[in-house]
Structures are given as structure tokens and as C-alpha cells.
Amino acid sequence: MPLKKQAPRLAGKEESDVEYVEDFGILVRRAREALGLSQAELAVQVKTKETVIKKIEQGEFNPPIDLARRLEKTLKIVILQESVEESPKQIPKKPLPSGYTIEDVLKRQQSK
């Protein structure tokens, strides 16, 4: 039985722990052009279709993690980063206004 080859992980992180950097399609296009590669040549190097490269560069397609890693390696750029979970903002507690409470109002109504 052949061994199943696993995709490399980002510093041991699960795929759900990574996200794409902002405007990664632009980064891919600029890096490709800086290396003097056509979209077709890059597609061959990262083992995908030219149309996939076009869609990535136009921001119409988020590549699978394994393709994103091949692009990073080939173009020597970073397009995946660790996800940062934002903690919910805590709403500061406001002091209760001085004066009557609901209980005070109810007691007053009952005494009438």
C-alpha cells in the first residue's frame, strides 16, 4: 500500500489556522513579473492551469493551501499567514444611575 503524502504545514499549524494576506493576488502578479515569468510559465512550475493563475491574480480565486504554498516557494513570497483570532471587545460596564430602581417603583405602586 503506497504511503499518503501529506502537504507541508505552516509551522505545524492546521489549515484552518492560516489565512491569506491582504491583496495576495497582486503580490503573486508582481512577484511573477519580477521573475520575468508569464502566467503560463508560472502555471507549469506550480503544476496548475494558466486560468487558475489568472483568477488568482485578479482576486477571483483563493487557491487551495497546497497551491498557495507552491506559489510561495516558487515566487519567494508570503501569501499565507497565521490566523489571528480577535477577542471580542469588552464593553465597559456603566455605573447604574442613581435614583429609583424598578424595585423602588414597584414598592411605591404597591403602597398606594
The enclosing domain of 32 has a CATH number of 1.10.260.40
User: Domain total for the chain?
Assistant: 1
Q: Domain of residue 20: give its range.
A: 15-82
* DSSP assigned state of 13: B
Q: Determine what percent of the chain is predicted with pLDDT higher than 70.
A: 71
Over range 91-100, report the average pLDDT.
Answer: 62
Spell out the residues 6+ positions from residue 69 whose beta carbon is closer than 8 angstroms to its own. 7, 8, 10, 80
Q: Is residue 33 part of a domain?
A: yes
Q: State the pLDDT at residue 93.
A: 61
Set of cell numbers at residue 102: 424598578
Q: Is residue 1 part of a domain?
A: no
Q: State the pLDDT at residue 14.
A: 54
Q: State the pLDDT at residue 10.
A: 41
Q: Is residue 102 part of a domain?
A: no
Q: Determine what percent of the chain is predicted with pLDDT higher than 90.
A: 55
Amino acid at 46: V
Set of cell numbers at residue 39: 502566467
Q: Is residue 87 part of a domain?
A: no
Choice among 27-31, 68-72, 84-88, 101-105 with the minimum mean pLDDT? 84-88
Q: Is residue 10 part of a domain?
A: no
Q: Is residue 7 part of a domain?
A: no
Residue 37 has pLDDT above 80, yes or no: yes
| Cα gap 34→59, rounded to integer Å | 19
Q: Angle formed by the axes of helices 50-57 and 24-34, to 10°?
A: 120
3-class SS of residue 10? strand
Residue 69 has pLDDT above 60, yes or no: yes
Kindly report whether the global pTM for this prediction surpasses the value 0.85.
no
Q: Is residue 95 part of a domain?
A: no
Between the CA of residue 70 and those of 10, 38, 47, 78, what are the distances in Å? 12, 16, 9, 11
Query: Which residue did the predictor score with more confidence, 105 or 63?
Result: 63
Q: Is residue 25 part of a domain?
A: yes
Q: Which residues of 42-71 are buried (b: 16+ CB within 10 A; e: fewer)?
A: bbebbebeeebbbebbeeeeebebebbbbb
